[in-house]
Structure 1
Amino acid sequence: MEASQSEEPVLRHVEKDVLIPKMMREKAKERCAENVAAFSHCCKESGFLMVLKCREENAALKECLTKHYQDPAFYEECKQEYIKEKLEFLRTGVAAKNRIQKLPTSM
């Protein structure tokens, strides 16, 4: 893996401190989907009392998300995915979110 690190593009401050953490948040929510669903359900059921009634679900959700946010291996995984998407964009000029939509519509 030493060779791939030396070939990595230099990341700007906004990429390291904003865009990669944003990707981490999105992926962490997917990995904590069960906790997100439990907290959302509790909030819907509790209405204005959610602050009092959903403490346990909120704590479990925060714990799950924080575990991912503080995991250096998870950061590295997201960083590598970001770099892959960036290099593909530089190669093709098509953003990752648009690549999925570029399928032929007449089949």
Structure 2
Amino acid sequence: MASIYDKQDESTFTVLPKQSGGGPHGLGDPNDRTLRKVEVEVMIPKLMRDRAKETKCVDEVKAFTECCKSSSILMVVKCRAQNSALKDCLANWYKDEGFKKECTEEYLSLRSEFRRTGIPIKRRVTKIQSSM
């Protein structure tokens, strides 16, 4: 007696939501714009923090880094002012809704590109740099 599983393609059975599977590499639909909880609470804030440090709070990061290098072990005590300034700068950008939307759109485009190509961002950057 044949089972119902014998007649169906095994790729039709999945425990993942529809948008988490599929796509050209089985990584999800590249055009899907919905965000999971972990993306909203972890991934996008991480991208916001990184972008703010690299582009928005450059002077504060530089001052804090120089203070830490010159203070060695006593940096916890000596660099409080620079640390507070850096935290305030990052907090201001973190609260900015325009910046948050910009980072969300960047995250969605990076995720879409990953789902379309199947190449992680780090490997893509490495390949581009090695080809130059």
In the other structure, the counterpart of 1:25 is 49
TM-score in terms of structure 2 length: 0.66
What is the SS of the residue equivalent to 1:10?
coil
1 or 2, which has the higher helix percentage?
Answer: 1
> Which is higher, the Rg of structure 1 or of structure 2?
2
TM-score in terms of structure 1 length: 0.80
Gaps of 5+ in 2: 1-30
In the other structure, the counterpart of 1:12 is 36
In the other structure, the counterpart of 1:96 is 121
Gaps of 5+ in 1: 1-6
**1:50-65 pair list within 5 angstroms:** 50-65=75-90
In the other structure, the counterpart of 2:97 is 72
Extract structure 1 runs of 4+ deviating beyond 3 A: 103-107
What is the SS of the residue equivalent to 2:34?
coil
